[in-house]
């Protein structure tokens, strides 16, 4: 499957992160006040737009890159920047490809990236910046300090979002046990989960960008995201209204993740993703979960058994009321497992209510 430009950007960020040989080479070029045009990948399409220069075929090293950058023309490396394949190459991309850049080096970089799908790096001699071109994306690399400052801000936000999400999750679990969930409660839960997901994504990009300078950050994110429980997919699955829309679980999750930040603040819009009307009245409607999310918290219930339990017992309230015999009627559940499931459900009920009222 072809990678999205965002995924390619992430992979390239990891390749040029501080601590890598490639970044060291790029920093040397910057310090030496020369520029460079580097193509990160060599295939038929790249070959077709290369003119002149010479085949070199040597292992990559920061000093070699620096020396080769002193020559006119571009340097072509393999995808992982493990080898330098050609140097002093004139790149001749299709001149009709649109580019927003000025200066032949950067215009060439953008066009080559768009035409070949291969990441291209330009080091500007006049502006003293390193830019990555990936498909239509241009990304300027910064030093670690400003990135760390933004990452720390994002980390503080994640901490606040996480604590709010924990409250909302506990409250939803208790409301589910009491059969008092409204569309609003579910929309708030999805909103909070999505906010945590987005800020975590943002931080993981900073971690990539920072390379060795981001190690501490990555430990902090890990600590703040452990024990998050199942993601929004499980909540959507519990509550989606299949009668009003034929959209699949994956489509609804993708729509949720694609909402703009303004749309995400509107609970009515989130209710719409589940298949409910977005009016104020509809937000107050009481709904029943199928029970997938709470069941996923019981270790003895693998997903296939959870599916059968939900199919058979149809909704969390019936699940909660089920006795050992009812549970044993489900394919794949023997007496031992039925007891574990029963105990698990009772434990969830107790802890949810305790969390709510203590």
Check residue 91 for interaction with ligand ATP (CB under 6 A).
yes
Check residue 72 for interaction with ligand ATP (CB under 6 A).
yes
On whether the CB atoms of residues 20 and 61 are closer than 8 A, the answer is: no
Contacts of the segment 158-166: beta carbons below 8 A, 24+ positions apart: 158/196, 158/199, 158/200, 158/203, 158/221, 158/224, 158/225, 159/224, 161/192, 161/195, 161/196, 161/199, 162/196, 162/224, 162/225, 162/228, 164/192, 165/192, 165/193, 165/195, 165/196, 165/228
Check residue 105 for interaction with ligand ATP (CB under 6 A).
yes
Site for ligand ATP in 292-321 (CB under 6 A): none
**3-state SS, residue 57:** strand
**3-state SS, residue 60:** coil
**How many positions of this chain bind ligand ATP (CB under 6 A)?**
16
Q: Which is nearer to ligand ATP, 15 or 105 (CB)?
A: 105
Check residue 126 for interaction with ligand ATP (CB under 6 A).
yes
Check residue 128 for interaction with ligand ATP (CB under 6 A).
no
C-alpha distance from residue 262 to each of 158, 258, 279, 338 (Å): 18, 11, 17, 45
Q: Which is nearer to ligand ATP, 72 or 331 (CB)?
A: 72
**3-state SS, residue 358:** coil
Site for ligand ATP in 27-56 (CB under 6 A): 35, 37
- Closest residue by Cα to residue 345 from 173, 230, 227, 165: 173
- CA 240, CA 237: separation in Å to the nearest integer? 6
- State the nearest-atom distance from the C-beta of 225 to ligand ATP, in Å: 40
- State the nearest-atom distance from the C-beta of 130 to ligand ATP, in Å: 11
- CA 3, CA 248: separation in Å to the nearest integer? 23
Residue span binding ligand ATP (CB under 6 A) among the ranges 118-126, 158-166, 172-180, 222-230: 118-126
Residue span binding ligand ATP (CB under 6 A) among the ranges 100-108, 189-197, 218-226, 237-245: 100-108
* Number of separate helices (H) and strands (E) present in the chain: 18, 8
Check residue 116 for interaction with ligand ATP (CB under 6 A).
no
Check residue 103 for interaction with ligand ATP (CB under 6 A).
yes
Check residue 124 for interaction with ligand ATP (CB under 6 A).
yes
Q: Which is nearer to ligand ATP, 123 or 271 (CB)?
A: 123
Output phi, psi for 100, to 5 deg. Answer: -95, -5
- The residues facing 37 across adjacent strands are 122
Tell me which of 14, 58, 127, 212 binds ligand ATP, using CB under 6 A: 127
Q: Enter the tokens of residue 204.
A: 């993981």
- State the nearest-atom distance from the C-beta of 80 to ligand ATP, in Å: 22
Residues whose CB is less than 8 angstroms from the CB of residue 285 and which lie 6 or more positions away in sequence, other chains included = 182, 183, 276
Check residue 175 for interaction with ligand ATP (CB under 6 A).
no
Query: Does the annotation place 107 within a ligand binding site?
Result: yes
Residue span binding ligand ATP (CB under 6 A) among the ranges 103-111, 259-267, 294-302, 316-324: 103-111
Check residue 171 for interaction with ligand ATP (CB under 6 A).
no
- State the nearest-atom distance from the C-beta of 56 to ligand ATP, in Å: 15
- State the nearest-atom distance from the C-beta of 67 to ligand ATP, in Å: 14
Q: Which segments are annotated as binding site for ATP?
A: 73, 91, 104-108
Provide the binding-site residues for ligand ATP, judged by CB under 6 A: 35, 37, 72-74, 90-91, 103-106, 108, 124-127
């Amino acid at each position: 499957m072809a990678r999205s430009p965002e995924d390619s950007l992430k992979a390239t960020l990891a390749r040029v992160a501080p601590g890598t040989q490639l970044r060291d080479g790029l920093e040397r070029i910057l310090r030496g006040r020369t520029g460079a045009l580097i193509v990160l990948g060599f295939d038929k399409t790249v070959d077709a737009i290369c003119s002149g220069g010479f085949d070199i075929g040597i292992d990559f090293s920061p000093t070699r890159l620096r020396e080769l950058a002193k020559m006119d023309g571009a340097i072509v490396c393999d995808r992982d920047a493990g080898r330098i394949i050609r140097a002093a190459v004139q790149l001749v991309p299709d001149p009709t490809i649109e580019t927003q850049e000025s200066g032949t080096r950067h215009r060439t970089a953008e066009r080559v990236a768009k035409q070949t799908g291969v990441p291209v790096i330009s080091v500007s001699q006049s502006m003293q910046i390193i830019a990555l071109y990936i498909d239509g994306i241009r990304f300027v690399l910064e030093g670690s300090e400003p990135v760390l400052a933004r990452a720390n801000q994002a980390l503080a936000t994640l901490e606040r979002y996480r604590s709010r999400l924990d409250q909302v999750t506990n409250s939803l679990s208790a409301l589910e046990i009491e059969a008092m969930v409204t569309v609003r409660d579910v929309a708030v839960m999805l909103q909070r989960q999505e906010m945590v997901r987005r800020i975590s994504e943002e931080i993981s990009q900073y971690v990539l960008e920072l390379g060795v300078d981001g190690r501490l950050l990555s430990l902090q994110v890990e600590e703040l995201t452990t024990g998050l429980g199942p993601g929004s997919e499980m909540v959507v699955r519990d509550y989606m209204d299949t009668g009003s829309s034929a959209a699949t679980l994956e489509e609804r999750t993708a729509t949720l993740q694609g909402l703009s930040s303004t749309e995400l603040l509107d609970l009515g819009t989130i209710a719409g993703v589940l298949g409910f009307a977005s009016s104020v009245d509809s937000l107050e409607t009481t709904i029943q979960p199928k029970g997938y999310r709470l069941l996923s918290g019981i270790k003895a219930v693998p997903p296939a058994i959870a599916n059968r339990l939900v199919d058979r017992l149809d909704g969390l309230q019936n699940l909660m009321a089920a006795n050992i015999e009812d549970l044993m009627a489900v394919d794949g559940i023997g007496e031992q497992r039925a007891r574990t499931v029963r105990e698990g459900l009772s434990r969830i009920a107790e802890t949810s209510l305790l969390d709510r009222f203590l």
